[in-house]
Amino acid sequence: MEQAKEQYQYLLCIIVPLMQPEQTRKERFTAYTALLRERFASGVLSELQSVQQWVVWRGELEGEKHKKVPYNPHYKNARASVKIPKSWGTLDQSLSALASGLYSGIGFMLTPPLVLVDLDKSFDRATRTITDPQAAEIVQALNSYTEVSPGKGLHILAYGRLPGRGIHTGIEIYGQDRFTTITTDHLADTSLTIEHRQEAIEVLYKQFAPPLAERDYQNTRGGVGSVTAFTELPPEAANDPLLQQLLRGDTTGYPSASNADFVLVLKLLHWTGDNVDLTRKLFLESGLYREDKTERKTGQTTYLDMTIRNALKKRRNPPQRR
């Protein structure tokens, strides 16, 4: 009953404004856009304002799930993709699109070294207080720019690199392949700037990462004798910096995610002596794994298996015999 009530209220938030006269809705979003411009002009998120990774978003109900869907600020009602930078735009373009009244808010595409910590259901808008003690501790520990999310949560932005892929457990932590809503509704008594918090991010990640992600984390620290899937690689592989970088999910320096995938597959084939099954297993447990792409069907095969097959055909160096 409670879930049905929440869905009804969510639909009202989306549908009712659309049923009102167009001028009324546009006036409301014109005013909201003006408020955002004023906040940005005062210096809020000055670190991100010139970066062309801005989008707009709209709240939509897909099945039984409430989703915030990113849209391209260049074209009316064209969705944006975390994989297609051309579908992103400037802050000014996103604000102009928001003023049309077609969208719910603006957002920003995450790429390294920017990290988002999402603390859901942790804030009371009426009292402007944090309602979850754990969330309060995280806000204090990171001590970086924090704002109120469109719902009942908080978003923290900080600079650093995740030890593995993004996580969604007790909290959510992401560093790429995601977008975050931006409200500029800054939380009082937190930093007005995005701070560099590598050590705090690593501590937080290790605390909340699920077992698999914890194994990735330990492996990137080169822990001797730790029980991880990556110990199935020969010891010499720990001295391969490109391999270790890609296992962590760090694609810095690569022109595309697909290129990074291909290089990691080449590396894994080399170090496993062309063991395709082990290569597949290690890739699935690496920081480059993405559910929507890695196991995507491509004809009669999957994206990952196709990449492995292509790597076997095109590589130049022989495998490391074990």
Same domain, 291 and 262: yes
pLDDT digits (tens, 9 = 90+) for 132-186: 999 999 999 999 999 999 999 999 999 999 988 888 888 999 999 899 999 999 9
321 occurs within a structural domain: no
Do the domain assignments include residue 320? no
**Same-domain check for residues 9 and 124:** yes
Are residues 284 and 146 part of one domain?
Answer: no
Do 10 and 40 reside in the same domain of the chain?
A: yes
Residue with tokens 């603006």: 106
- The segment with the largest mean pLDDT, out of 23-27, 42-46, 64-68, 268-272, is 42-46
pLDDT tens by residue, 204-239? 999 988 764 334 433 332 322 223 445 578 888 888
Do 247 and 195 sit in the same domain of this protein? no
Of 143, 178, 203, the position where a domain reaches its end is 203
Looking at the domain assignment, is residue 319 inside a domain?
no
Q: Is 229 inside any structural domain?
A: yes
28: Cβ contacts below 8 Å, ≥ 6 apart = 17, 101
Does residue 142 lie within any of the structural domains? yes
260 and 282 inside one domain: yes
165 within 8 A of 287, measured Cβ to Cβ: yes
Domain shared by 47 and 135, yes or no: yes
- Which one, of 68, 37, 42, lies nearest residue 55 by Cα? 68
Task: Say if 322 falls within a structural domain.
Answer: no
Per the DSSP assignment, residues forming a β-bridge with 196 are: 159
Residues 6+ apart with CB under 8 A from 45: 145, 157, 182, 184, 194
Q: Are residues 259 and 172 in the same domain?
A: no
Same domain, 80 and 8: yes
Confidence of residue 13 (pLDDT cuts 50, 70, 90): very low
* Same-domain check for residues 22 and 164: yes
Interval 300-314: pLDDT, tens: 788 999 999 999 987
- Residue 292 CB contacts under 8 Å (≥ 6 apart), including other chains: none
Q: Which of 203, 236, 253 is the last residue of a domain?
A: 203
Among 187, 203, 219, the domain-final residue is 203
| Residue 181 is assigned to a structural domain of this protein | yes
Q: 156 with 256, same domain?
A: no
Q: Read off the pLDDT of residues 99-143 as tens digits, 9 standing for 90 and up.
A: 999 999 999 999 999 999 999 999 999 999 999 999 999 999 999
Q: Is the pTM of this model over 0.75?
A: no
Total structural domains within the chain: 2
Q: Do 163 and 120 share a domain, yes or no?
A: yes
Range of the domain at 48: 2-203
Is residue 217 within 8 Å of residue 209, measured between CB atoms? yes
